[in-house]
Structure formats: C-alpha cells, structure tokens
A and B are shown apart, each in its own frame.
Chain A
Amino acid sequence: MYQPKNIYISIFAWFAVVLLAGCQPAQSTEPAPGAPTAPVSASPQELRVMTHDSFAVSEEVVAAFESEYNAQVQFIKGGDTGVALNKLILSKDHPLADVFYGVDNTYLSRALDEGIFEPYASPLLAEIPAEFQLDPAQGALPVDYGDVCVNYDKAYFSERNLEPPQNLDDFLDPQYRGLLVVENPATSSPGLAFLLATIGRYGEDGYLDYWRSLVANDVLVVNDWETAYNTEFSYWGGTRPLVVSYSSSPSFELIFAEQPLDEPPTASVVGPQSCFRQIEFVGILKGTEKRQLAEAWVDFMLSPVFQEDMPLQMAVFPVNQQAKLDEAFAKFLQNPEQPATIDPALIASQREQWIQTWTEAVLR
C-alpha cells in the first residue's frame, strides 16, 4: 500500500531524538560545581566569540569566566583563519560576533587594513613582552605563539647512523636528498610560516635561490599539513623523515601516544633562524554592543588561567610571562634558538607577492 506518512513519521522521530540530544552539550556550559556562584539577579548576558576551527578550551576555564561575569559565551567557528577573517570583514556592518580570536601575524595586516577591531589597551599587556605586540594601535592583542619548525623522525636517523640536520642550510646537503616534505604556502598556514622562515634567513634576494636548491635536492610539496604529516612523514607510514610542523608536535606525540612513551619519538630542527614564530591575536570587533563584557573576555584570555590552559588544548604557548607551562611540555619542549623574524609591515606589503613568486619558482 502507498503510505506516504510512514517515511515522514520516521524522519520526524529521528529529528526529535536529535534535537533532544543536540541540547545536551549546551548544558555543559553551566557553571562547574566548584565555581563561585554569581549573583543570580539578571539572566546571563550573551557574548559571541568568533574563532578559527582549531580553537579549543577546557570546560571549567570558560565556566569560571561565565560565573564571574554572569555571562554566557557563545562560540562561533568561522573556518580556517583566512576564511573566518574574510567572513568578519564582509560582515563589518552587522558584526557576526563581539570578539574575534585567531588572526595570526601572517594575516594580521588584512585584519588591520580592513579595520575590523576596536582598540583596547588591556592592563594585562604589561605582562606581555613587547616583541609580541605587533599592533601599535592595540586593536589586535597577542594571546599565544607557536613555532613552525621542521620535525624529524628520530628512529629513521638513528637506524641509519645519520646525523639529523641542524638548520635550514643542512636541507640542501645531498645526504638529506629526498627526505623533506613541506606544505604549500598558498594553501597551508605552516607552509606559509616555513616560507617566511626561509625569507627571514636568506632575505628577499636569497630565498628563491634557496628554494630552487631545495627542489634540486628533491623536496616534496603537498597542499596541507594533514597529508604532509599523516601520510608522507615516515613516522606515520610515509617515506620522508623530515616534515614541516610545529615545535609542539613532538610533545603531542608523547602526550597522545597510544601507549606511554619515555620521550618524544620525533624532534624539531631548532638551529638559529630555522623556525618561524606564529603569533595569534584577539580583538574586540567594531560595532559590538557588549564592549564591557568583550573587554573582560579579552583580559581573561590574556590572564594566566586561560593562558595555562592553551598548550594542552591547542598546542600553542602563552605570551603572558606569568603563565606557567604545563609539565608535560616543559620537560621536552625545544625552544628555537632564534626564530626567523620579519618586520610585520614587510609581511603586510609583500605577502601575496612572495607566495606568487614562490609558486612560479617552485611549482611551475
């Protein structure tokens, strides 16, 4: 018999089940049991915080903020950093959120040129070294940093009695021929950071020659970090023991090993000017109607409570000098001797140009 209602009833039942289930995670944003209880005078004020897709935070950290300010933080994920930033620029007239976290120093110029942030001179900036404070107008405030470095598979080198490379120059050595996999700077954020490291090391005049030599030494370029790390890197089933990743990756291999390890199975190449330091910023979005609460949230992100939570959640490190690094990291983290630095104004004016000339030289 023809019974059209059956399908709709079953679909509807599914939908109902899901709506119920979907509500559960939202409840988890209620204050944790131990948190100080706020005066329950008014219903909580909502704060919309836009982030990139990699944002993560501990439940109790957010709960502490929410109860202190009688607020409810609504996180919105806008895609990769570049995608999220574009969305905010295009919605300037009707802002999507009150605060944006996640723009980094490779995208900072686009955010500042388009004027999406309102300046805020947070008192906590006093606890943050000047080298991180790249926006003199204080629209974008530094939150964390991470170093993009080449990682190597320790076992690969020890099995062959091969000395691991120490710096960028070494990657041109014929004994490391065909061992390095990097990401495309046009499509990948660590890829762009690594390109900037080479520009910082060899200068605007020298970096293309360096890359031509890398190509001659059989470097492999892939489009994304996942392909480079999960499929080409020899520790993960590929054939290349050198991969562009983060200085935090070896610690993550240790912390998230399937069975406990004594030390990280990988390490970073941290010689002078071999890494590039990515700094991520937070800013109050122009046109917000919750300026006061937004300021409180920015202060909160710069405070030790939030800063100490970041490494294990997002594999990035605190800029606030008062924040202590988790033991899991402190023991094995390698700090780059001198990360390559490039004047942010130069990145702003040359970024697109560098990517395009790199593409011509390396891919065509």
Chain B
Amino acid sequence: MSQPATRSVASNRGRLGWLLWLPPLIFLALFYFYPLGNILGLSFARQEGGWTVAFAQALASPSVLHILGFTLWQALLSTLLTLLLGLPGAYLMARYHFPGKAIIQALTGLPFVMPTLVVAAAFNALLGARGWVNAALMGIFDLSQPPLQFTNTLTAILVAHVFYNTTIVLRMVGDFWSHLDPRLEQAAQSLGANRWQTLRHITLPLLLPAIAAAALLVFIFDFTSFGVVLILGGPRYATLEVEIYYQTVSLFNLPLAAVLSLLQLACTLGLTVIYTRLSARLSRPLALKPRQITQRRLVGWRARLMAGGFLIFLLAFMTLPLLGLAGRSFYGLDSGRERSGEVQTGPTLAYYRALNESRRSALFYAPPASSIAISLGYAAATVILAVGLGLPAALALSSQRESRLSRLLDPLFMLPLGTSAVTLGLGFIVALDQPPLDLRASPLLIPLAHALVAFPFVVRSLAPSLGSISPRLRQAATVLGASPRQVLRHIDLPLVGRALLVAATFAFTISLGEFGATALVSRPEYPTIPAAIYRLISQPGALNYGQALALSTILMVVSAAGMLLIERLRIADVGEF
C-alpha cells in the first residue's frame, strides 16, 4: 500500500500532523492513562507480594478462566447476531429512497440511550412471564404455564445486546455503503456476475473496513457489558465487567479486580491490533459518491414486499418494547387492584403531572425540564469534546497511516472503550485529587468521562471514510497550490461530513445514555434524566414507577429529537461542494 504519492502528501502535512496528535494524546494521558495507572498501582500495592502474586493467583483460578471464556463467547454470539440483523438494514438504508428513513434511523438509535433497568422492564412487559407474547401463546395453545422463559437466560442477554447495538451497524456501515459507487456493482453484473458473486467479490470487500469497524465496536461493547448481564442475565452469568464490580464493591478485593481489568484491557487491545492490521490491508482509495447518485427507489412489488417486511421486523424489534413502555406511562398501573376490580384503570396523564410537582418538597427534586436541560448540556459538551479530539486523531491516523507512531497509537485509541467503568471511576478518585486537577466532585468530570467513551466511536466512525479518500484528490489540490489547511478544509472535511454527523450522533447518545456514569461521583443538584429515572424506579409505589416510565418516555422523545436535529445539521454533504 505504500505508494510514493501517499508519502509525499504525508510529508507535506508533516508539521500539521504532529499538531493533530497533540490534543487527543494530552487528553488521554491526563484523563485516562494517569488515573488508570494510579488505581492499578494502588490496587496491586494492597496485595502481599505485589502484582505477580495477584496475577498468578487469578490465572490459576478456574472461575476466572471460566468467566473470561463466557465473556468472549457471549460477545462473539451477540456480535454475529447484531451483524445478521444490522447488515441487511444497512443495505436498505444505504441503497434506497423510501419515506420516513430519518425517523427509522432515529428510532433504531433509541435503545442506545435507554437505561438498562428501563430496557429490562420493557422486555419483561413483552417477553416476561406475564408479557404479551406469553399471554398470547398461553391463549392460543391453552397453556397453564407461560411457555417462554426470559429472565435469567442467555437468550435475554443476546436479545438485549442486539437490541442495543444494531444501530451501530446501521449507522456506520449504512453511511459508508451509501457513498459506494453503485457503478462498480453494475459493471460486475454487466460482465456476467450474478448477484451473489457481485456481493461476494465486489460489495463485501469494499465494505469490509466499515463492517470491521462496526463489528469491533459492537464486540467491545458486548465484551464489557455490565447492566444487561447483571439485570437480564441474572446471577448465573458473569462477564469480566460484572466480576470486576463484584470483586471491587462486594468483596473489596482490589488486586483481583485490577487483574481482571487488565485482562479485559488486554483482550480489547489484542482485538484492536488485529483489526488495525486487517483494516490497513483492507481499506483502499475509493471515489466516494454523493448519496443522490447512489440511492434509488424500490421498484417492483417483490422488492417492496421484501424490504417492507424486513423493515417492519427491524422496527418492531427495536421499538415495540420501548413503545410498550411509553404506552404504559399513559395508562394506570395499579395492576393488583385492577385484578380485584377495585379501581378502573384507563388513560391518564397522572404520571406526567406528578413529575412536575414535588410532593415531598425534596431537596434534590428537579422538574423534568431542568433534567432535560442538564442532560442535553452534558451531551453537547461531550459532542464538542469527543469530536474536537476524535477528528484530529482520525485525520492524523489516516494521513500518516504508514508511520510507526500511527500504528502504535491506533489500537491505544480504542482502549477507553474496553476499560472497566468501576476501575476507571476509582482511578479518577485517586488520581484527580489535587488542585489544579481536583475534579473528583466537579460536574466537569461527567462530560470528560463521557467523551472518553465517545472518543473511540468518533475515531472509528471517521476512519473508514477518511481512509478511502483517494490520495490523488489531495495531491491534485496540493499541486494546484492548496496549503495543507486548505486541503483539510476543502477536501477531507467535506468528504467526511456525513461520517462526522454519525460520530456526533454517537457522542450525543453515549452521553445521554450515561455510559459508565455509576462509577462517577455525582452532584445531586444537577440530576440528569437517567439519574432521575433510577431514583424513581428504585422505590416502591405505583406513582414512582409510573413516573419512571413517563420520564423514560421523555428521554426517548428528547433523544429522537436530538438525533433528528443532528441529522439535519448537514455540515457538508458530499455533492454539496
């Protein structure tokens, strides 16, 4: 791949390139490596004999190896299932025009922001012992016991993972696919290739960088899964992340927790190294095309039927559980009394009204409007930070793909995603404890921590597009007298405009969904929507549960609106320059 042309452009950008590395590296050093190193060191210091003994003990334990095996196994299964559902969806989104596409895109992104407890409740309303599906099956087949067992099963874990992560495949692969020149496939077909051969020899190889990037992210998310495994999987299943939490919080065995954290990091790193080696070989310069050229209408009843059928299935799976919840928030919940006929339940706005009044004049009560504002504020700050750091990193990676620094740093950029939230949260506590960096109880730490998770997403969303920009385009600009800055502004940025929006959307949703927030110290006077939901859902009483559902519904509406808004921003779509 090392064409002399690429080198000359790279060297032309030499000075700029160094500057590009700086912001992401400083950020990671301060808010990732420093806290992580600190807590790991401190944890091993609590072990007699130091880290070697801790490692020896952990790796000799059959239960640790068993947990590692299960963690890998469920992540692999979940990722394959996610691709199975996501790729056909990405194809439809990329290649066809049809009404309501933006809405579908936003709806399928909703699971990403929903707190796990709410998603668990949603699935239970659908698939639980007294859920709709079991009720229907019992009615049809006249059964006395619910036939489907959902709680505490591996199926529940897999279903929830697919539910959460399909949007990653839809967005990342879909976006890249929509810019592939369809004439390549048409040419293959006119040369006699059938559809299967075209897919296998033309489309898939071209798509691989995007598929690999999406699969990597999905895998790491599943691999480090916490809430889903804890709540839906039940006590018989544990991932490394769940075990780290258990060892840290329940048993206070910090040395073992540190070993497990490092094991999780090592797996993430190993996987990312394989990925970067692969993607270096896979990505090739392409002439990316504007979507107006690549997309067409669905023609013929068969195509419409198949596409429609698949989309309905996808939408039903991704939105029915959540819509069911939203429905319940408008409906009386006192199920016990409904059974005994004491009270007629019906449509109600009681839960929404209750959200707006503080019945107990609680100090930390916040009306929904202010928690929405606070959540959006953190999300906006996260988007700015993550994109502001991820864009230079992705640009540096793609323009200096062959340099040793680039090959070293690329896998490191993925690490925050594979890091245990509990461990890193404690890292912040021990490392950021003195001025000028005493951020432990500062509201600033929240967007910083969210940006840490969003940063790898931004880099991975941008890398496939940046990697496929033909070097000749940059050369031509340089030859015509464009400065490196102008090349960046007029070639790279417009060409990755869409990918930038995808990246911003991910950063936005990651922050709204509060990934790993439990590990941070929070300031109760700034309650985010998920924090308010947790507060309500963890108390008995219909009014509390109903309010939690109402607030979840508000969270869905806010995130859908936010995603649609970002979609509209259109920084610079291809074809508009």
Contact = CB atoms under 8 A, between A and B. Distances in A.
Interface string B507-549: 0000000000011011111110000001101111111111000
Given A21-B370, A77-B521, A91-B429, A227 B249 contact: no
A1 B571 contact: no
Contacts of B571: 2-4, 6-7
Interface stretch (B51-59, B82-90, B337-345, B395-403): B337-345
Interface stretch (B121-129, B282-290, B305-313, B470-478): B121-129
Contacts of A222: 151-152, 234-235
Interface in A61-108: 61-62, 74-80, 82-83, 86-87, 90-91, 93-94, 96-97
Given A227-B231, A230-B121, A257 B249 contact: no
Contacts of B490: 2
Nearest to A261: B337
A225 B544 CA distance: 15
Contacts of A221: 234-235
Interface residues of B, number: 98
A59 B541 contact: no
Nearest to B350: A258
A258 B130 CA distance: 21
Interface stretch (A22-30, A137-145, A165-173, A288-296): A22-30
A205 B473 CA distance: 78
A364 to B, nearest CB: 8
A312 to B, nearest CB: 6
Nearest to B517: A79
A115 B521 CA distance: 21
A76 B441 contact: yes
Given A21-B369, A22-B526, A58-B360, A2 B377 contact: no
Nearest to B443: A22
Q: Is the interface of B mostly helix, strand, loop or mixed?
A: helix
B380 A18 contact: yes
A54 B117 CA distance: 16
Interface stretch (B1-9, B24-32, B96-104, B327-335): B327-335
Contact of A187 (B235, B433, B438): B235
A236 B521 contact: no
Contact of B230 (A86, A224, A249, A259): A224
A21 B374 contact: yes
B146 A239 contact: yes
Interface string A230-247: 111011111100000110
Interface in B20-40: 39
Contact of A77 (B151, B504, B522, B542): B522
Contacts of B39: 90
A253 interface: yes
B257 to A, nearest CB: 10
Given A14-B380, A86-B248, A235-B336, A2 B363 contact: no
A127 interface: no
Given A4-B571, A59-B361, A235-B336, A186 B537 contact: no
Interface of B: 39, 42, 117, 120-121, 124-125, 128-130, 146, 151-152, 230-231, 234-236, 245-246, 248-252, 332-337, 339-340, 343, 348, 350-351, 360-366, 369-370, 373-374, 376-378, 380-381, 383-384, 422, 425-426, 429-430, 433-434, 438, 440-441, 443, 489-490, 493-494, 497, 504, 518-519, 521-527, 534-535, 537-546, 569, 571-572, 576-577
